[in-house]
Amino acid sequence: MFTLDLFADQPRSTGERRQLGPGAWLLEGFAFEQAAELLAAIEAVQAESPFRHLVTPGGFTMSVAMTNCGRLGWASDLSGYRYSPLDPLTRAPWPPLPEVFATLAASAAITAGYPPFEPDACLINAYAPGARLSLHQDKDEQDLAAPIVSVSLGLPAVFLFGGHKRNDPVTRYHLQHGDVVVWGGEDRLRFHGVSPVKAGEHPLVGNRRLNLTFRKVTA
């Protein structure tokens, strides 16, 4: 076990697995050892498809900056939410899913008790201090049998995990650098979000939080 220091480049635990629901798990420090390789892959992706602040169908500009990699990428604008094989900003295909991403996502899913997971989309979110993600469901995918795998890097965050209705009670979980959350099965469509990220400085990531969200879009 390691002592807790939110901003030290040390994992808070080794192999701890916390159950958040019947099909939901928090794998503490699961991605810590791969962090440097993951960050290098993120830099390569954003060089091809830069981070941008999407606009929701209601005209709200998201505080979280986003890009994608994989066969499909998630996009939003005034016309709606959708997945597309092309980056709307560059008009080119999204960068391919880095091998380190695919390996980590598959390993985390298996550790959480799911079959081998082959995501075809990875959303990469960048949270500056104050950025947040309101409660929502991941329901734009055709394949709802596959789990969601979410990887936290950089600044700590508070993960909001609710129920199947927007007004259901919400449980707050503190996520740190290297933590991975996996949810699927009867938990797959639970509302979730992220509270405003607090200012700080991480030795590898700087003054931001990065999040990788792996999804299987097509059945």
pLDDT at 143: 87
Question: Is residue 7 a part of any domain in this protein?
Answer: no
pLDDT at 8: 37
Question: Is residue 1 a part of any domain in this protein?
Answer: no
Domains in the chain: how many in total?
A: 1
- Residue 10 pLDDT > 60: no
Q: How far is CA 87 from CA 47, 94, 148, 154, 214, in A?
A: 13, 6, 22, 25, 17
Is residue 59 packed enough to be buried (19+ CB in 10 Å), middle (13-18) or exposed (0-12)? exposed
User: What does the pLDDT look like over 25-81, one tens digit per residue?
Assistant: 999 999 999 999 999 999 999 999 999 999 999 999 999 999 999 999 999 999 999
Question: Is residue 9 a part of any domain in this protein?
Answer: no
Question: Is residue 62 a part of any domain in this protein?
Answer: yes
User: What does the pLDDT look like over 73-90, one tens digit per residue?
Assistant: 999 999 999 999 999 999
The CATH number covering residue 169 comes to: 2.60.120.590
Angle between helices 99-111 and 35-48 (to 10 degrees): 130
Look up the pTM and report it.
0.92
pLDDT at 12: 55
pLDDT at 116: 86
Of 123, 125, 194, 182, residue with least CA distance to 153 = 125
Instruction: Label residue 7 by pLDDT band (50, 70, 90).
Output: very low
- Residue 2 pLDDT > 50: no
pLDDT at 14: 58
User: What does the pLDDT look like over 89-99, one tens digit per residue?
Assistant: 999 999 999 99
Question: Is residue 3 a part of any domain in this protein?
Answer: no
Q: What range does the domain containing 205 cover?
A: 17-215
pLDDT at 1: 26
User: What does the pLDDT look like over 178-199, one tens digit per residue?
Assistant: 999 999 999 999 999 999 999 9
Of 75, 74, 70, 217, residue with least CA distance to 146 = 217
Question: Is residue 141 a part of any domain in this protein?
Answer: yes
Q: Quick one: average pLDDT of 109-117? A: 95
Question: Is residue 107 a part of any domain in this protein?
Answer: yes
Q: Other CB atoms closer than 10 Å to residue 14's CB: what's the count?
A: 11
User: What does the pLDDT look like over 126-181, one tens digit per residue?
Assistant: 999 999 999 999 999 998 999 999 999 999 999 999 999 999 999 999 999 999 99
Question: Is residue 124 a part of any domain in this protein?
Answer: yes
Spatial distance between the Cα atoms of 70 and 158, rounded to a whole number of angstroms = 27
- Residue 5 pLDDT > 60: no
